[in-house]
Structure formats: structure tokens, C-alpha cells
Chain A
């Protein structure tokens, strides 16, 4: 990793599958580079999302990796091998490529389309046919129904699935995807994204995913590289940390308002300490005992649990004063709860909906575990921000030390 010091990579990056070293591209007839001196390590088995404003050079960067575009400068290392000068056609057969417009061959059936690369690398017919069916299955298309169709007989979402299947056909270790879900309606896109994430959970491919949509980046990325003009990396990190701590104004502008809320999607209820001293009583507690406990607590609401410990009613001072009904019948019903694996985003929604301003946490059998309130969330967010900031401060310090070391190295000459 020493050659890659200038890349603002996180320190816990796993082994890099692809490395770009000082890669640049100046298109003929243009004076400004489309990609300027880019150092980038693409971690193995993860989805790295390149995201940035239109025209910042995302597609160019992606196409430099499989040498659809020849770099003007720099080196590209693929799986430990310098591929800057190898036969690009052979290189591309080892790298899956999916584009927004999909580019299925209209005169070939779906099976022929998917079998393109296996045919190129010389698989036999039976193996290709089996692989085609396997991939159709994997991408949620019925092989019997789809293998002999032509691309024009597919919907946009189906075509995009075939595009992904085709890119996966010869089982390449790396997949390059240029806005693969860009031209699809939001509902189908969401479904394709989820399916793809599920697929990736099994396949563990090394994926470079280009999008200009920050929400898609947050959803899809194990890591995100936010790119500025000329493909300069403005921030490179996990989505959580980018949301918690955008390093500069460019990044925070790009993430846009609501980044804090988006960050809540990455935290789970089970990782938090629940409020333990929230007033709670069993349904058959005596009324004066219940009143006593309520008075002892600063909270304005108290939770009544049923006989097996499930949240039952919310009661406040007014409800308690009404002695004509048993505890089980006063107050308001608890109609929603969250489980420990819910995200904080879900929890926040519950808080906003509940009378008491609290989210009730229950276990799998709906038994009361504790509550969360808005203050807990605020604390969590503050902590996340602090952690991320500390991470960057540490990095900066490391950098400074490194630079000093380099200076000292350089001194004797």
C-alpha cells in the first residue's frame, strides 16, 4: 500500500483487486484532462461506488479500468498484474461490463446474448446452455420462458437483468457497472437493487458501480468514492462515515440535506443502550403502586405490560386518575413496536408516530425490552460524528507522520 499513500483510502481496506496508479486521461482535442492523476484501490469482494456530478469523469474512469479508453498516463494493476499494456480484448473477457443502455444484441436470443463471453473463451455448448439457465434463474427470470426470446420482447427491467446475467456469464472476478439501473422506473430500480445486493451477498464479486445518485450510492456501496471535477477523489469511505462526517463543503453539498437521517439507516437498534429506567408496570399492578411509580419518574407516560410481558397500553397522569376502569383498559393502545434488528430510521419513525414520543423495543416474541427516545438518537448521531471525525484526524496525523518520514528520507540526497 505504500505506493498508494496519496489515495485517501480507509485504513481497513481489504486487499485491492484493481489498483489505479496516477491514471490520467486527456481526450484528443481537449486541453483539460477528463481524469487527472487518479490513484484508486478497488477492494476485493466489495462494491465500490463512484459517485459525483454529471461530467466529472465517472464513466471515463470506469472505462479506463477495462481499457475501453486508453489512459494517457499511469498504470493499471489487475489482480497483481500490470495490465496497462496487455491485449485489451483478453483483459475485457475477465471483466464483466454493464452499461445503462444495456446494449443487448437485438438479433440474438437471450441465451445467445448471455453466452457471448463463454463462447469467446471456448466453452462447449452443453456447458454454455447450463450456465445460461443458471444465470437466468439467478437473476430471477424463468429460463424456459426467456431463453429463446429476443431482446425486444423484454421489459426494461427484464432486459437489465439479462444485461447483468450476460456480464456474469463467464464468472469474471470483477464487474464494472455504469449506471446500470439508471434508465428504470423507481420501483423496478429498487427491486433490481435489492436483488442485486442479494446476489452479491453470494457472489462476492469485486464491483465498481457508477451512479450520479447519492442515495443509490449509499444503498449499494460497501465503499463510496465521491468524485469532483476531473475525477478527483473528494472523499473515499464507507457510506456510514461519509454520512456522519462529510469532509468538506463539496461533499456535504453533494450528499445534500438529510444526510444525518440517511445515516440512521446504517445503525441498528440492537447496538444501542436502551433507556432502562423508563416507568413500566404489569397489568395487574395495584393502582396506588402504579401511581407511585409514575410519580417517581420524570417521564410523562408510563408503559403497561400484559401478563406475558408484552407492551399493552400507554398511560399518562390523566389516564391514571380515572379509577373507573382497570389498568388494562385505560390509556392508549401500543400499536407499533420495533425489533432489535430494526434500523434507527425505523425507530425514529415509531417515535414520531407514538403518543409518548418513544419507540418501544421488543424481542422476537414481542416481549418488552426497553424504549428509545429522541435524545438517545441525538446522542448516537453525535457519537457517530465524533468517531468519524476522530478517524479522519487520525488519518491526517498518520499522513503528517508519513510526510515527515518522507522528508527525512529525502534529506540525505
Chain B
């Protein structure tokens, strides 16, 4: 499966960073007598997850700044209308999140099983061609894909969802395949040698060991999706893109900036949740 690694990929490189143990993890590699310098678990948790505390602070600061900015700005009638929480912002936020969530769910539901299938001995030979197709597919600009989907499926959020699911298939598929392929052959050999069936080896050994890499792919997909959901309004999919577009149309900075900042804050939050999931779902002992 060397061809897998030949595919130039920012995602796989990203994984190398992600799968490197976090700084605190080194502390856990203790020898018999090293228990003495083990830090209390609470301190270790915080120290090794320092990054995870930064994002919420930024998001909260962003929300406060936005409110302050909104309250202090001169507002005209259109501003008030466009930025009405109940009428516009809240439904758009929900659509935005909905699109992101469903697109990611579909991506996972399709790409992970496909990745598993393409790493089984029977179908392994299809792995490279499928990846090649997926890679060239990603070369289509997102906007183009949305328009194509629109032409095919018509207006509406579901069109956006399917288009985005398709668009973010690649990182999840590729990381699933890489994640499964990088599992130590000896571990699989030992498992099979003890009488685990192929399915048991997959479920109990290969998948848990591939989880960090798969999750890194899912996180990449999420980040792409949440960003691109801002384009959903183009084909009637809603989302916070509506507010940005209204700001542009009205030439109102307040509306434009509110839309843009909210999009950014949502993206940050989603990425943070993904990072949290990556941390907590990573099997212990790795």
C-alpha cells in the first residue's frame, strides 16, 4: 500500500503532528522506580491540554467584543432587521450547524466503511484508484461543486449537505485507510495467532489503533465543512452566509462584520469540539 503514502497530502502530514504524543504524555513513560516524579493527575491533565483552554477563551472574548461593537455602533433599520436574533441570526446559526453536522455524519458513514473495505485484502487493489478519484474530485472548487449539486438536486439545505459530504470525503477516507494500514502488522499477527477472527481483529485491534488518525481526518473534514457552510446561501441552503451576503448587499459594515465574526467563531468552536473528541476518544496506552 505504498501508493497510499505517495499521494501528496496535507492531511497525512497533519496526522504525523496529531499522532505524536502530546508533551505531557512523555511523563507517562515511567520505569519501575519513576513513580516518584509523577505529577498529580489533575495537574497533568491541565498541563497537557493547555491548548484546549485557549479556544474557549478566544470564543468568549469574540462574543463579548461582538456585543460591545454591536451596542456601540450606529444602527439603521436594515441593520436591526438583518441582525435580529430570533428572525435571522438564530435560524441561520442552526442551519449552519445543521449543515455541518449532517454533512460530517454522512461523510463518516460513507468514508469510514469504505476505507475499511478498501484496506481488506480482497478489495485492497481498488484502494489506490479510489483514492486517486477522490483526490482529483477534491480539485473541483467547492463553489463549482455546489453549483453542480444545485443543477442536479435543486435548491435547499440538503443539496448543500450532500455536496459538502462528498467534498470532505477525501480526508476521512484517506485517513481511515492510512490509519488502518499503519497498524503494526505484528500486533495483527499476534491477534490472529491467538485465534481472534478477522472481524474481531478489525473491531478490537485495528479500529481502536486507527482511531486517532481517523479522527484527525474527521476533524479536517469538519473544519472544511463548517467553513464552506458559509456558501450554502448561494443555493438557498441558508446558514450564516446569508448575513454576510446581506451585509455586502446593504453595504453595511456592521452586518458584514457580525456575519463574518460569527462564522469564524462557529468554526473555532466546532474545531475545538473536534479537538476535544480527538483527545477523549484516543485509546489510552498509545
Enumerate chain A interface residues (CB-CB to B < 8 A).
Answer: 66, 68, 89-93, 97, 99, 101-109, 116-117, 120, 145, 150-153, 155, 163, 166-167, 176
Q: Are A106 and B209 in contact (CB under 8 A)?
A: yes
Q: Does B194 belong to the interface (CB within 8 Å)?
A: yes
Between A101, A106, A108, the greatest number of chain B beta carbons within 10 A of the residue's beta carbon is seen for: A106
Q: Does B208 belong to the interface (CB within 8 Å)?
A: yes
A158 nearest CB neighbor, chain B only: B32
Q: Are B285 and A97 in contact (CB under 8 A)?
A: no
Q: Are A103 and B31 in contact (CB under 8 A)?
A: no
Q: Are B285 and A101 in contact (CB under 8 A)?
A: no
Which parts of B185-199 form the interface with A (CB within 8 Å)? 186-197
- Chain A residues with CB below 8 A from B195, complex form: 89-93, 117, 120
Residue contacts A-B, CB under 8 angstroms, 15 given: A93-B195, A99-B193, A101-B184, A101-B189, A102-B186, A103-B188, A103-B189, A104-B190, A106-B184, A117-B194, A120-B196, A120-B200, A150-B284, A150-B285, A153-B29
- Chain B residues with CB below 8 A from A117, complex form: 194-195
- Chain A residues with CB below 8 A from B196, complex form: 89, 116, 120
The binding surface of chain A is classed by DSSP as: mixed
* In-complex Cβ contact of B191 among A66, A105, A151 (8 A): A105
* In-complex Cβ contact of A99 among B189, B200, B209 (8 A): B189
- Chain B residues with CB below 8 A from A176, complex form: 193
- Chain A residues with CB below 8 A from B204, complex form: 105
- Chain B residues with CB below 8 A from A163, complex form: 190
- Per-residue CB contact flags for chain B residues 11-43 toward chain A (1 = under 8 Å, else 0) read 000000000000000001111100000000000
* In-complex Cβ contact of B209 among A107, A150, A167 (8 A): A107
Known: A103-B191, A120-B195, A150-B284. 6 other contacts (CB 8 A): A92-B195, A101-B184, A103-B190, A116-B196, A151-B285, A152-B286
Distance between B234 CB and nearest chain A CB, rounded to angstroms: 44
Q: Are B284 and A97 in contact (CB under 8 A)?
A: no
Distance A228 CA – B208 CA, assembled complex (angstroms): 41
- Chain A residues with CB below 8 A from B209, complex form: 106-107
- Chain A residues with CB below 8 A from B51, complex form: none
Q: Are A93 and B32 in contact (CB under 8 A)?
A: no
Q: Are A103 and B187 in contact (CB under 8 A)?
A: yes
Q: Are A89 and B285 in contact (CB under 8 A)?
A: no
* In-complex Cβ contact of A145 among B32, B191, B284 (8 A): B32
How many A-B residue pairs lie within 8 Å, measured between CB atoms? 80
Distance between B192 CB and nearest chain A CB, rounded to angstroms: 7
Given contacts A103-B186, A153-B30, contact A97 B283 (CB under 8 A): no
- Per-residue CB contact flags for chain B residues 70-101 toward chain A (1 = under 8 Å, else 0) read 00000000000000000000000000000000
Enumerate chain B interface residues (CB-CB to A < 8 A).
Answer: 28-32, 184, 186-197, 200, 204-205, 208-209, 283-286
Distance A166 CA – B195 CA, assembled complex (angstroms): 12
A166 nearest CB neighbor, chain B only: B194
A108 nearest CB neighbor, chain B only: B285
Distance A304 CA – B169 CA, assembled complex (angstroms): 92
Distance between A86 CB and nearest chain B CB, rounded to angstroms: 12
Distance between B28 CB and nearest chain A CB, rounded to angstroms: 7
- Chain A residues with CB below 8 A from B197, complex form: 89
Q: Are A97 and B194 in contact (CB under 8 A)?
A: yes
Between B186, B192, B195, the greatest number of chain A beta carbons within 10 A of the residue's beta carbon is seen for: B195
- Chain B residues with CB below 8 A from A101, complex form: 184, 186, 189
Given contacts A92-B194, A105-B205, contact A155 B31 (CB under 8 A): yes
Distance A151 CA – B186 CA, assembled complex (angstroms): 14
Distance A106 CA – B212 CA, assembled complex (angstroms): 13
- Chain B residues with CB below 8 A from A145, complex form: 32
- Chain A residues with CB below 8 A from B284, complex form: 107, 150
B200 nearest CB neighbor, chain A only: A120
Between A101, A103, A104, the greatest number of chain B beta carbons within 10 A of the residue's beta carbon is seen for: A103
Nearest first, the 5 A-B pairs at minimum CB distance are: A103-B190, A150-B285, A93-B195, A97-B193, A107-B283
- Chain A residues with CB below 8 A from B283, complex form: 107
B211 nearest CB neighbor, chain A only: A107
- Chain B residues with CB below 8 A from A109, complex form: 285
Given contacts A90-B195, A117-B195, A166-B194, contact A153 B205 (CB under 8 A): no
Distance A68 CA – B284 CA, assembled complex (angstroms): 29
Q: Are A107 and B285 in contact (CB under 8 A)?
A: yes
Q: Are B191 and A153 in contact (CB under 8 A)?
A: no
- Chain A residues with CB below 8 A from B186, complex form: 99, 101-103
Distance A91 CA – B192 CA, assembled complex (angstroms): 11
A113 nearest CB neighbor, chain B only: B190
B198 nearest CB neighbor, chain A only: A89
Q: Are A103 and B285 in contact (CB under 8 A)?
A: no
Distance A176 CA – B200 CA, assembled complex (angstroms): 22
Distance A102 CA – B284 CA, assembled complex (angstroms): 19
Distance A326 CA – B8 CA, assembled complex (angstroms): 91
Distance A62 CA – B29 CA, assembled complex (angstroms): 34
Q: Are A105 and B187 in contact (CB under 8 A)?
A: yes
Between B186, B188, B285, the greatest number of chain A beta carbons within 10 A of the residue's beta carbon is seen for: B285
- Chain A residues with CB below 8 A from B192, complex form: 68, 92
Given contacts A99-B189, A103-B187, A107-B209, contact A93 B194 (CB under 8 A): yes
Q: Are B189 and A68 in contact (CB under 8 A)?
A: yes
- Chain B residues with CB below 8 A from A152, complex form: 29, 285-286
Distance A60 CA – B192 CA, assembled complex (angstroms): 15
B184 nearest CB neighbor, chain A only: A103
- Chain A residues with CB below 8 A from B205, complex form: 105, 107
